Amino acid sequence: MKTIQTNVYQFSELSNEAKEIAINEFRNEGIDTSFIYDDAYKTVKQFHEIFGTKEGNNSWLDVRCNNFEDNVCNLTGIRLRTYIINNFGSQLYKGKYYSLWSKTEKSYKHYTEGYPVLKTRYSKCIFWHSCVLTGMCYDESLLQPIYEFIENYKEKSDYYSYMDIETLMNDCFESLTKDVESEVDAQSSDECIIDTLEANDYEFTEDGKRY
């Protein structure tokens, strides 16, 4: 029997050539991106709950809009915008959240120790949107075309005057697909792989092989 001693290195300690080997081996092992699709799918399910739409026949990243009645499908431009605000506005926008410390609000600690009290509330007159479906970034990806249609209608009325519900729904899913694909690609980038290797304190031999 013989004993062999091997030096191990953190990623930052490797030579540039060894770093390249470490990055490529990690990429070739396969990068798990399932969490991206899982999070995006949760957003899609909430979207369908609100609008009554359904998954496409070939992919959940497509949409079927056959739930809308003809009178809704025939709406365009400002009439469609009004319909969306009246029927879905309360789910697309939430009252702005405020928090502040109050020295006058009554509480046990305020009485006994003079502590200020944290007051929180949601505005009843100022509304905004920020990941209103699941709290994840893909909410914004999916809903962005709707928000742009509502909020930028006056500036782009010539463009939006012919917008109908089916086109708008399809724009939403095209927006989500684009961002999901972009995030999947980003996970395979050198920068993201380096962050993963360093965050997990992986160790390597001098030639960049995982120890």
Instruction: Give the separation between CA 23 and CA 13, rounded to whole angstroms.
Output: 14
Q: What is the pTM of this model?
A: 0.76
Instruction: Give the separation between CA 169 and CA 93, rounded to whole angstroms.
Output: 18
Average pLDDT over residues 122-132: 54
Instruction: Give the separation between CA 118 and CA 95, rounded to whole angstroms.
Output: 18
Average pLDDT over residues 158-174: 95
Instruction: Indicate the pLDDT class of residue 9, thresholds 50, 70 and 90.
Output: confident
Q: Which amino acid is at 129?
A: H
Closest C-alpha among 122, 121, 139 to residue 130? 139
The tokens of 116 are what?
């200020």
Average pLDDT over residues 143-160: 93
Instruction: State the pLDDT at residue 202.
Output: 92
Per DSSP, 13 falls in state: G
Q: Is 156 in a helix, a strand, or coil?
A: coil
pLDDT digits (tens, 9 = 90+) for 27-47: 998 889 999 999 999 999 999
pLDDT digits (tens, 9 = 90+) for 83-118: 999 999 989 987 554 455 455 555 444 444 555 545
Instruction: State the pLDDT at residue 160.
Output: 92
Instruction: Give the separation between CA 210 and CA 203, rounded to whole angstroms.
Output: 6
Instruction: State the pLDDT at residue 127.
Output: 40
Instruction: State the pLDDT at residue 168.
Output: 97
Q: Look at 174 and 158; give whichever has higher pLDDT.
A: 174
Q: Kindly tell me if the per-residue pLDDT of 23 is higher than 90.
A: yes
The tokens of 22 are what?
């470490």
Q: Look at 53 and 112; give whichever has higher pLDDT.
A: 53
The tokens of 83 are what?
């319909």
Please give the torsion angle defined by the CA atoms of residues 71, 76, 79 and 84, in that order, rounded to the nearest 10 degrees: 80
Q: Kindly tell me if the per-residue pLDDT of 123 is higher than 90.
A: no
The pLDDT mean for the chain works out to 85
Average pLDDT over residues 143-156: 94
